[in-house]
Amino acid sequence: MLISDSLNGGEILQIALSRIEQNYPMTPYLLDGFYRDIKKVGGTYISLLEAAVKIYDEGYREPRNKFKLHERVALLEVRRSMGYSSKFTTYFDQDNLLEDLLLHNSIKYRHFPSEQIFFNSLNRERDSYYNGHEVFVVSLRCEYSLTTFVEKGTYAIIHTEYESNQEEVLTKKRGLESKFVSLKRVIDFKPFEGKYYLNYIAVDSKVNWYDIKTKELKFETELSQSLLINEIIPNPTERITTTEKMKNYGLQYQDLPYNKEFWDNYNVIKESPLDRKVIDDLEKHGALDKQFKGY
């Protein structure tokens, strides 16, 4: 019998990780979600992309390849601002950013270190509540910070936050060198019919570009990504076929014609409004609605 009061942070997280297959879906499910990414250069927002998506997955069994996407995603509707044709967009990753975001699900993809030294380094904070659930709070403060909420009783990981500020050289392009500045990741789960499903995931990353010769800072870039799940369908009768699923290159290159009627009636937009500064910056190129139409 486990006496929860005597457990340290490492023991709590080890139990939680050992119970992933008990607490998360192990049979197929379908998620209906809303994806958004916003790009910023030197403090000014330059582009926006939004998509309504369906995500099909077989369950939370531990994957052999922890860096290959196992979910199948279908794009239902996509819209983007004119900023995607800005000269600065080439300084952002041109891969499929939604695929990258899903791969940040550290619980599904088992990205936690397995070495005992990691678990020994974890702290148990004061127990707390999260969304009405009594939780253990486990944290780590080193070259990065990690805070994880583990539900008491089930030992389900229901919320985790990660932040790193380690500077690291990434790539070189057009006489410039990029350096990773920071990354912040938030993953949240919600209970549904006895299992925990992804509720939302958000990743904010910052990369600075320097002149290779002079080392002078030329400009700063920021990418904010989020995925909000608005419907969960366990054991669906439908799947996402190979022909329906999104391609593995940038969403801006596989977008669909702008469907104004759909977006006008899409409630998730009303629940997740854009910040006023984002709108003001983007509308320097004209009204967003006209940009979505591709004028």
All structural domains of the chain with their residue ranges:
4-293
pLDDT by position in tens, the chain (length 295): 455 678 999 999 999 999 999 999 999 999 999 999 999 999 899 999 999 999 999 999 999 999 999 999 999 999 998 876 667 777 787 789 999 999 999 999 999 999 999 999 999 999 999 999 999 999 999 989 999 999 999 999 999 999 998 888 788 888 889 998 999 999 999 999 999 999 999 999 999 999 999 999 999 999 999 999 999 999 999 899 888 899 988 888 886 789 999 999 998 888 788 899 999 999 988 899 888 887 4
Rounded CA-CA distance 199/196 in Å is 9
What is the per-residue pLDDT for 251? 86
- The reported pLDDT for the residue numbered 111 is 93
Nearest-angstrom CA–CA distance, 63 and 65: 5
**Distance, CA of 228 to CA of 197 (rounded, Å):** 12
For position 254, what pLDDT does the model report?
80
Q: How far apart are alpha carbons 122 and 58 in whole angstroms?
A: 31
pTM for the model = 0.93
C-alpha span between 201 and 211 (Å, rounded):
34
Tokens of 145: 């910070």
The predicted structure's pLDDT at residue 1: 46
- Smallest CA-to-CA distance from 149 within 113, 96, 186 is with 186
Residue 161 is predicted with a pLDDT of 98
HSE (side-chain half, CA atoms, 13 Å) at 211 = 6
* 188 touches 201 (CB < 8 A): yes
Please enumerate in sequence order all residues whose Cβ is within 8 A of that of 199, keeping only pairs 6 or more positions apart, or say none. 188, 189, 190, 228, 229
Give every CB contact of residue 275 below 8 A, 6+ residues apart in sequence.
none
Structure tokens at 40: 């910023």
Burial of 254 (0-12, 13-18, 19+ CB in 10 A): middle
Residue with structure tokens 């967009």?
89
